[in-house]
Amino acid sequence: MSLSKVYSFPTNEKLSEALNEYVAHLSREAIARNGRFTIAFSGGSLPATVCRFLKDNKEVDFSKWYVFWADERCVTLDNEESNFKLLRKELLDHLVQTDRGIPPDQVMQINEDLVGDQNAAAEDYQEKLGSVFSGTTKIKYPELDCILLGIGPDGHTCSLFPNHPLLEEKTKWVAGLDDSPKEPPRRITLTYPVLNHASNVVFVANGAGKRKTIKKILDEKDVHLPASHVAPFKGTLSWFLDDAASKDLSETSPSPFKL
């Protein structure tokens, strides 16, 4: 795994500007290499921070994007808790309204007919991943071009929570849970093998509320926090923070941020 890069920005606006630049760069590189860009979003505050400027970036060829979710709540797609609904609000609907929509069959949302059973929903989502990645050959794990991860105060990421059995899951690409300590309890989530096979993993965090957790992970290497075990085997790992979140860190990567 290449060493993680930690970038910190004085304001949330500067953080969003850098994320716009970085995701657009990853998209350009992937499309040039493979003719498509496969990206997974988390929920929470991440979509607003990542998409604030990205949604109007005319350099990005969204028609070549395949959008997944790093985790999703087992609720209907119009439910306020839905990460799909959240990303529609922060990105997808805006792209459609500006004639730059992502083809619907390249937006891989949870099957809402299955949200009553998190395990069935997870199996179905794994098949969705397989349909995009397996092609002709059976693969062990999908290799997404970019996975965008948030982090909770308890060090959870996607829906991998402290001391949860899913932290040990090594076979499934997508797993269901019904005991999330963060509401709502029923979710599906990518597992570590998929996170750690991604080409580029990007943690996004802002605000003083994350300060302690980020110091535990980046400075103290606290192995008890789920986010500490995101360590891409071959891919890159980057942290995009605001100064409020990074304040207690011993060091951050040289600024200004440049690709």
Ligand X SMILES: O=C(O)[C@H](O)[C@@H](O)[C@H](O)[C@H](O)COP(=O)(O)O
- Judged by the rule CB under 6 A, the positions of this chain that interact with ligand X are 42-46, 71, 83, 150-152, 156-158, 182
Instruction: Work out how close the CB of 79 gets to ligand X at its nearest, in angstroms, rounded to a whole number.
Output: 12
Instruction: Work out how close the CB of 205 gets to ligand X at its nearest, in angstroms, rounded to a whole number.
Output: 7
Instruction: Work out how close the CB of 83 gets to ligand X at its nearest, in angstroms, rounded to a whole number.
Output: 5
Nearer to ligand X, 212 or 234 (CB): 212
Instruction: Work out how close the CB of 173 gets to ligand X at its nearest, in angstroms, rounded to a whole number.
Output: 17
Nearer to ligand X, 71 or 90 (CB): 71
Nearer to ligand X, 83 or 199 (CB): 83
Nearer to ligand X, 71 or 145 (CB): 71
Tell me the three-class secondary structure of the chain, residue by residue.
CCCCEEEEECCHHHHHHHHHHHHHHHHHHHHHHHCCEEEEECCCCHHHHHHHHHCCCCCCCHHHEEEEECEEECCCCCCCCCHHHHHHHHHHHHHHHCCCCCCHHHECCCCHHHCCCHHHHHHHHHHHHHHHHCCCCCCCCCCCCEEEECCCCCCCECCECCCCHHHHCCCCCEEEECCCCCCCCCEEEECHHHHCCCCEEEEEECCHHHHHHHHHHHCCCCCCCHHHHCCCCCCEEEEEEEHHHHCCCCCCCCCCCCC
